[in-house]
Amino acid sequence: MKIAFIGLGNMGGPMAANLMAAGHDVTGFDLTARPDGLRMADSAAAACAGADVAITMLPNGTILRQVAAEVIPALTAGAVLLDCSTVDVDSARAVAADAQAAGLGALDAPVSGGIGGAQGGTLTFMVGGDADAFARAKPLFDIMGQKAVHCGPSGNGQAAKICNNMILGVTMIATCEAFALADKLGLDRQAMFDVVSTSSGSSWSMNAYCPAPGVGPTSPADNDYRPGFAADLMLKDLRLSQQAAVGADADTPLGQVATDLYRRFVEDEDGAGRDFSAMLPRFAARGRA
């Protein structure tokens, strides 16, 4: 396929590289990033000239709307606009409506798997949009990731992503709290992991991404909490979850508490630029308030 890829940062750059390595004709655009070996256009609209699929990986819904307003008129009717950003549900649905009105297929397909998943082609895509557009994009999902789930109409990919990450934020906080409590009760961290990872308290946060250094599979905790998934990005996703909860009149008290804790960690403490599992040393250093 002829692919335009707009947004070539830590996630978009490796994703575009994997598509190009698989033999697709990829033209990129980014205001700052210039990945080696990728043909670059002078504008997002220029990158989309003649494209079968335009992929966007952008920071937020406001920027997505701005870029979409530029690229939708540049795409030929029948092309697919595939947005892999994590944004608010309203922005995803508004962009999809504009794309469909222009005769385009539209998919919102946020990802899970982080930078390592983007580099290794092992991302999971949560996809909203019509079934025909999903079928056309499926070969690209198979290159960039290991799984793509069609979650229903436009916006449902974003809904799945923010619900998933609200669970992740809450369970990581609970895991870090439990390790900090175990420390103060004199329970060895390895023993704690051995029990919980095979018991009813097990979770992805414990079993696959353990926040305790030297315990369980290798994780950012073993690299001084350099981010695999930054606390700043967790805060962004939690804020999106609470924005959606307000709009849907949904009661999400643990989601709100997790949002408040990550906000304090990132904006008032030392969490900015650290992995979201660095909540463990934060709790370990604190007493009961």
Active centre residues (catalytic) = 161
Query: CA 96, CA 104: separation in Å to the nearest integer?
Result: 9
With 0-12 CB in 10 A as exposed, 13-18 as middle and 19+ as buried, what is 12? buried
Query: CA 166, CA 148: separation in Å to the nearest integer?
Result: 20
* Amino acid at position 86, single letter: T
Query: CA 269, CA 16: separation in Å to the nearest integer?
Result: 35
Long-range contacts of 263-270 (CB under 8 A, 24+ apart): 263/235, 263/239, 265/231, 265/235, 266/231, 266/232, 266/235
Query: CA 244, CA 134: separation in Å to the nearest integer?
Result: 24
What are the tokens at 3? Answer: 């692919």
